[in-house]
Amino acid sequence: MDYQDYIKLEEEFGAHNYKPLDVVLSRGKGVWVWDVAGNKYLDCLAAYSAVNQGHCHPEITRTMIKQAGKLTLTSRAFRNDQLGLLYKEICELTNSHKVLPMNSGAEAVESVIKAVRKWGYTVKGVPKDQAEIIVCEDNFHGRTITIVGFSTDESSRAGFGPFTPGFKIIPYGRIEALEAAITPNTVAFMVEPIQGEAGVIIPHAGYLREAKSVCEKNNVVLILDEIQTGLGRTGKLLAEEHDGIEADLTLIGKALSGGFYPISAVLSNKEVMDVLRPGEHGSTFGGNPLACAVARTAIKVLIEEHMIENAATMGKYFLSGLSAIKSDYIKEVRGKGLMLAVELIPEAGGARKFSEKLMTRGMLCKDTHDNTIRIAPPLVITKEEIDWALERLESVLSPH
């Protein structure tokens, strides 16, 4: 089959819910991927931060093959020899008390919504069916009906109503808005430490610490969605560490398996998770032994191979290099760790065309919110590879 045959198959037989760049990938290693024609690309999306450990990390590969030959799925009707070990290792690493394993990030979000609502009714004393959860404008927490119902992105919402009630939307990064939105029926505030899909929007330093204080004062559960920002992406294990706090509930996913297998988790530092009783929530695949074994190794290599420290060091270097690019197209450069963005002025004609130009030069990035190029390579990237990327970015962004 030639290149266009693969694209035609997708277009003819697949639902058109994505508009990918026309690159057909067939192999990956570290920060690099290759297409079906043998062309090599630097991956600067890392599957939306799911491949923090790099493509096809050899140790995670070995674990997956070994576990797949032993036991893959038991359901939670029975116990398995990997789940408890994963619980213990995650709790010790993140200072959590309890773990609820699921599969996708959206499932983790749905799980936490159920948990905090029940906590509100059984512990806080909120009247039946009156629980409120506060979220932020320009949030991205997933694609289920409940989640898109509290999105402010019309392309996510339009045509999918009616939506689940019980959510209040406030401006991101404004503590006074959070304080004003809280009522006696407020059970939780759910927020991303950095808004990734919105274009790597970073709140002022101390925002999470202030939010934690407001939530504690009002007996409101602070939920941090770290599905993209967690597991090293920002140069810390969890982004909350930049503000020196621990959330009541933390959501992780994506890089929890290094890109090998879907697994997510709700981490609890409060009694919230204790309100869930047998039969009230679950998933056939949640906590399966294959996912747990893979996650254990994915976490292990992240720590032992110092990928988090590398993200901090290389992130600063990459941000400095981006800031040095002289281009009339660039409105702003921002980032923390290896979660970076180049926002273009509207007159530049949109970020999509620049992502397409970068693809022809061997670099894969993702446009978001029309005018922003998002850059998030695997955490194993080197200085030399960043220099290589900066050359291509400069050539594409410098008007000729």
Q: Out of 35, 140, 167, 236, which one is annotated catalytic? A: 140
Q: According to DSSP H, which parts of 218-330 are helical?
A: 289-304, 307-323
Q: Are residues 253 and 265 in contact, defined by beta-carbon separation less than 8 angstroms?
A: yes
Joined tokens for residue 400 = 């000729």
Residue 195 has what DSSP assignment? B
Residue 388 has what DSSP assignment? H
Burial of 4 (0-12, 13-18, 19+ CB in 10 A): exposed
Instruction: Let me know how long the chain is.
Output: 400
Assign residue 30 a region (left: φ > 0; alpha: ψ between -120 and 50; beta: otherwise): left
Burial of 179 (0-12, 13-18, 19+ CB in 10 A): middle
Inter-CA distances, 204 with 146, 200, 237, 269, 333, Å: 29, 13, 20, 25, 15
At 257, the amino acid letter reads S
Q: Which residue has the tokens 């040095």?
A: 324
Closest by CA position to 17, among listed 159, 190, 228: 159
Q: Are residues 148 and 141 in contact, defined by beta-carbon separation less than 8 angstroms?
A: no
Q: Out of 254, 270, 336, 366, which one is annotated catalytic? A: 254
Q: Out of 225, 236, 270, 366, which one is annotated catalytic? A: 225
Asked if omega into 289 is within 30° of 0 (cis), the reply is no
Active site includes 8?
no
Active site includes 225?
yes
Active site includes 140?
yes
> Catalytic residues, which ones?
140, 225, 254
